[in-house]
Amino acid sequence: MSTSRASGGDEITAITVVGLGYVGVVVAASLAAAGRRVIGVDRRADVVASLDAGRAPIPEPDLQARIDRARALGTLRATTSLAEAVAASGASLVCVGTPLGDDGKLDESDLIAACEAVASAVPASREHVIVIRSTVSPGTYGRVAARLDAARVSLALNPEFLREGSAVRDLEQPELVVYATEHEAAARFVEALYREQRERLHRTDPATAELLKLVNNAWHALKVGFANEVARVAAPAGVDPFAVMALLCKDTKLNASAAYLRPGLPFGGACLTKDVASLSAHAARHGVEAPLIGAILSSNRAHLDHLVEAVLAHEPRQTAIIGVGFKPGAADVRDSAPVKLVRELLDRGVHVTVADSAVLDARVPPLGLEALRQALGDPRAQAAPSVAHAVRGADVVVVGHPSRADRDALVALRPRVPILDAGGELTRTLSETERALLSPVVLINH
């Protein structure tokens, strides 16, 4: 983090950090050690006294060193008076806790109260930026913004991604910094605050920023739970789970990477379903509880059901499905989600025509239309010799895993019916001009 400026361009006299819990004290100390004047605010007098005396209120590597440097620079102080701090600052970073309530939801009452208190304390002649760093649920930005005077207070979200034990390092050397705001004054402040990390700074919309933090931690929790299930299923086979996971993580092209982490169609193919089922059966055979692994196929089925309902919502009499391979660029239809989608729609009385140039262009028998018919495996489905034949008479077009030829044919044909992009593959490849030429293209994996 670096020196920042207020919304009007004037140098901010200080930054208030509201809430001196784990996140707040690390943020306050790091900013102050970097030379920024910081006023920490907390209702707990003992925490304020500790920080004012130069003692870290929590044991965290590097935190005491940052506090020591801030004291040497004279850039850090703490108070229980929010009004005093806000009057002396141009921006407030709100880091108050949002614990889990009895209803299973985040209790954001302290956060909302803190934001309102900050806004009320802003002097009449001043503008102020409020940046929410607390973990919040989707919709919080809007709820808070509705309570603030937008003419004087600019609101932003800046979720934290800090780990206990390395919080200072995570803050000062981030892999990712995300913020969201609907106010340009707040955007200027955040951009200036993270000037030294600008290459890792990403602006998004408030709902995405809110959900990202929750998804981020759910992903970490899932990884921990998965590794522990691996340990349990490895034991009956006499296998060292640490060796399994260490080797798993050696593959950074597929296993420890962004591969498979983009939303799309349900998985399929010759391996994934079979091997997940085999691992789950191994666990069951040995009396090992492995609910995560056991739920993978159920989750995959739930996503297929979601896609089916999204298509049926258009009440189609005839549907064209384009691209039925099990993954992008594949003519292999084994355990293919688009083929399953075909059968589900047929079972619900929808007439379905199918085109897939990759299957039609098969180089080994069966060939052409016969290859597509065998791939579908259901005489009720009509195999079409081209995309043009498939979409003729259809009142909905569903795009599965299209080949380049299928995609280009759709763009050239411009069917005047809804185009439902089941996996997002069409949407990602369309230019603005092409998107304008086609009927509304709707992502249905949302």
From the centroid of its chain, how far is CA 215? 6
Q: Is the pLDDT of residue 89 over 60?
A: yes
Q: Is the pLDDT of residue 8 over 60?
A: no
Q: Is the pLDDT of residue 11 over 70?
A: no
For residue 214, what pLDDT is reported?
A: 95
For residue 444, what pLDDT is reported?
A: 77
In 3D space, the residue among 29, 36, 146 whose CA is nearest the CA of residue 90 turns out to be 36
3 pLDDT tier (thresholds 50, 70, 90): very low
Q: Is the pLDDT of residue 233 over 60?
A: yes
Q: Which of 95, 115, 249, 271 is catalytic?
A: 271
**Residue 331 in contact with residue 325, Cβ under 8 Å?**
yes
Q: What is the pLDDT of residues 261-291, one digit of tens each?
A: 999 999 998 899 999 999 999 999 999 999 9
**Residue 111 in contact with residue 182, Cβ under 8 Å?**
no
Please give the torsion angle defined by the CA atoms of residues 369, 371, 375 and 380, in that order, rounded to the nearest 10 degrees.
30
Query: How far apart, in whole angstroms, are the C-alpha atoms of residue 442 and residue 446?
Result: 9
Query: How far apart, in whole angstroms, are the C-alpha atoms of residue 185 and residue 154?
Result: 6
**271 among known catalytic residues:** yes
329 pLDDT tier (thresholds 50, 70, 90): confident
For residue 1, what pLDDT is reported?
A: 56
Q: Show the domains of the chain with their CATH numbers.
A: 15-204 (3.40.50.720), 208-261 (no CATH), 304-443 (3.40.50.720)
For residue 446, what pLDDT is reported?
A: 61
Q: Is the pLDDT of residue 4 over 50?
A: no
Query: How far apart, in whole angstroms, are the C-alpha atoms of residue 150 and residue 127?
Result: 10
For residue 9, what pLDDT is reported?
A: 36
3-state secondary structure the chain: CCCCECCCCCECCCEEEECCCHHHHHHHHHHHHCCCCEEEECCCHHHHHHHHCCCCCCCCCCHHHHHHHHHHHCCEEEECCHHHHHHCCCEEEECCCCCECCCCCECCHHHHHHHHHHHHHCCCCCCEEEEECCCCCCCHHHHHHCCCCCCCEEEEECCCCCCCCCHHHHHHCCCCEEEEECCHHHHHHHHHHCHHHHHHEEEECHHHHHHHHHHHHHHHHHHHHHHHHHHHHHHHHCCCHHHHHHHHHHCCCCCCCCCCCCCCCCCCCCCHHHHHHHHHHHHHHCCCCCHHHHHHHHHHHHHHHHHHHHHHCCCCCEEEEEEECCCCCCCCCCCCHHHHHHHHHHHCCCEEEEECHHHHCCCCCCCHHHHHHHHHCCCCCEECCCHHHHHCCCCEEEEEECCHHHHHHHHHHCCCCCEEECCCHHHHHCCHHHHHHCCCEEECCC
Q: What is the mean pLDDT of residues 187-215?
A: 96
Q: For all residues of the chain together, what is the average pLDDT?
A: 93
For residue 10, what pLDDT is reported?
A: 39
Q: Above pLDDT 90, what percent of the chain? A: 86
Q: What is the pLDDT of residues 378-415, one digit of tens each?
A: 999 999 999 999 999 999 999 999 999 999 999 999 99
Q: What is the pLDDT of residues 143-169, one digit of tens each?
A: 999 999 888 999 999 999 999 999 999
Q: What is the pLDDT of residues 22-33, one digit of tens each?
A: 999 999 999 999
Q: Is the pLDDT of residue 6 over 80?
A: no
7 pLDDT tier (thresholds 50, 70, 90): very low
For residue 5, what pLDDT is reported?
A: 40
Q: What is the pLDDT of residues 353-387, one digit of tens each?
A: 999 999 988 777 887 899 899 989 999 999 999 99
For residue 111, what pLDDT is reported?
A: 97
For residue 440, what pLDDT is reported?
A: 81
